[in-house]
């Protein structure tokens, strides 16, 4: 998913389109803070926008919380679209957004290369189609892990299947980088169904382990080319809820691992004397004891962790490579091949309203999760 105004698809990207800071130094974050000799785990705590600040190996993080109304016969919103910027509707003042969708909200077909997307849907549904021939419908706790690799087009639309009640959507999308040696790996996608995601209950809260481990509890393995596939890289993705008045201690990782914690919903969380307020993000020392306390309300946070890949990052629009020259090549390859083309007709295609959750892979296999 991406805002298309960042993606020039016609012509060769100019020097103006590729700013000087397109080539980023992502050396080990801990070098910015010196050796870790203190006991306070908090490095920084600051307010963030819709797109959260991330640390290597992560590239991008957003939380979509949309209170969609009842759906119409086309699985779009029943409410009027008058006054919205249809095609680029990102107004945070609204309770829900169309994003790049014109009839159904979501993100019509667009390309990626050089990284992976992790889409976690806590509530609502997403319809996936891609240029490799895979498709599916997922949601309500499911996770899609897509490897763009050498290049893939995909669409992610948000069908409003309920015509008699609101269609709430609660979704995270996270991009994680691929190391240089794996950037041109074959594209593909995998589903982690809700029942496969470890969901651990504590007296003071609960945690969903999307990637990595939490003490003895281990998430399903990431795709083979992923930086997250090797446990030595300490990649972890947690969605943690702490009950009002309770506290939870995070597992310890190594000093080399980067760790970010984002406020998602609820009240204020406290780490040491630092308050994690709504819209704030906190960078943490992964190797120091970290206790998260919820004050007067339950609080939900997202935690991203991993050792840095520590390679140059050149990114522009939907492509993330190591050099500007590789970005030029990505645009050239996409214009020439369209990364396999789009076999589905409309770029904003959705499945029929009555379709349940399923995944159909490019090799023809169809997977259906257990009925909840």
Averaged over 223-241, what is the pLDDT? 98
Q: Which two structure tokens, joined as six digits, stand for 284?
A: 């943490």
For the segment 156-176, what is each residue's pLDDT rounded down to a tens digit? 999 999 999 999 999 999 999
Q: Which residues contact 241 (CB under 8 A, 6 or more apart)?
A: 205, 206, 207, 266, 298, 299, 300
Per-residue pLDDT tens digits for 93-110: 999 999 999 999 999 999
The residue ranking higher by pLDDT, 263 or 10, is: 263
Percentage of the chain surpassing pLDDT 70? 90
CB 125 within 8 A of CB 159: yes
Q: What is the pLDDT of residue 1?
A: 55
Please, which residues have CB within 8 angstroms of residue 103's CB and are 6 or more apart in sequence? 74, 76, 348
What is the token pair recorded at 238?
Answer: 């947690």
Distances (CA, A) of 136 to 23, 350, 362: 35, 10, 11
Alpha carbon distance 362, 265 (integer Å): 37
Instruction: Return the domain boundaries, the chain.
Output: 20-354
Per DSSP, the chain holds a count of helices (H) and strands (E) of 1, 27
| pLDDT at 178 > cutoff 50 | yes
Average pLDDT, the chain: 91
Q: Is the pLDDT of residue 18 over 80?
A: no
Which pLDDT does position 371 carry in this prediction? Answer: 79
Top pLDDT among 11 and 210 is at 210
CATH numeric code, 20-354: 2.60.120.10
């Amino acid at each position: 998913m991406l805002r298309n105004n960042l993606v020039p698809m016609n012509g060769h990207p100019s020097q103006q389109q590729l700013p000087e800071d397109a080539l980023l130094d992502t050396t080990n974050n801990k070098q910015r803070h010196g050796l870790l000799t203190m006991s306070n785990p908090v490095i920084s705590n600051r307010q963030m926008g819709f797109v959260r600040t991330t640390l290597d190996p992560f590239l991008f993080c957003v939380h979509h919380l949309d209170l969609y109304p009842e759906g119409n016969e086309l699985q779009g919103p029943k409410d009027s679209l008058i006054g919205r910027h249809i095609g680029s509707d990102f107004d945070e003042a609204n309770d829900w957004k169309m994003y790049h969708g014109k009839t159904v909200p979501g993100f019509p077909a667009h390309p990626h290369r050089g990284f992976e997307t992790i889409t976690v849907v806590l509530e609502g549904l997403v319809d996936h189609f891609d240029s490799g021939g895979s498709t599916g419908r997922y949601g309500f706790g499911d996770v899609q892990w897509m490897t763009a690799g050498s290049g893939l087009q995909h669409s992610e639309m948000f069908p409003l299947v309920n015509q008699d009640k609101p269609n709430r959507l609660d979704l995270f999308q996270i991009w994680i980088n691929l190391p240089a040696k794996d950037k041109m790996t074959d594209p593909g996608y995998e589903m982690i169904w809700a029942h496969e995601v470890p969901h651990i209950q504590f007296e003071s809260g609960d945690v969903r382990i999307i990637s990595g481990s939490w003490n003895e509890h281990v998430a399903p393995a990431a795709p083979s080319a992923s930086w997250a596939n090797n446990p030595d890289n300490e990649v972890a993705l947690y969605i943690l809820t702490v009950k009002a008045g309770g506290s939870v201690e995070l597992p310890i990782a190594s000093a080399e691992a980067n760790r970010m914690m984002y406020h998602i919903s609820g009240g204020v969380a406290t780490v040491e004397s630092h308050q994690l307020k709504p819209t704030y993000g906190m960078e943490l020392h992964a190797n120091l004891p970290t206790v998260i306390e919820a004050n007067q309300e339950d609080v939900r946070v997202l935690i991203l962790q991993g050792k840095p890949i520590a390679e140059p990052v050149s990114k522009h629009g939907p492509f993330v490579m190591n050099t500007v020259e590789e970005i030029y090549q990505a645009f050239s390859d996409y214009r020439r091949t369209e990364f396999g083309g789009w076999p589905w007709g409309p770029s904003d295609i959705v499945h029929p309203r009555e379709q349940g959750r399923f995944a159909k892979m490019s090799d023809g296999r169809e997977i259906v999760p257990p009925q909840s």
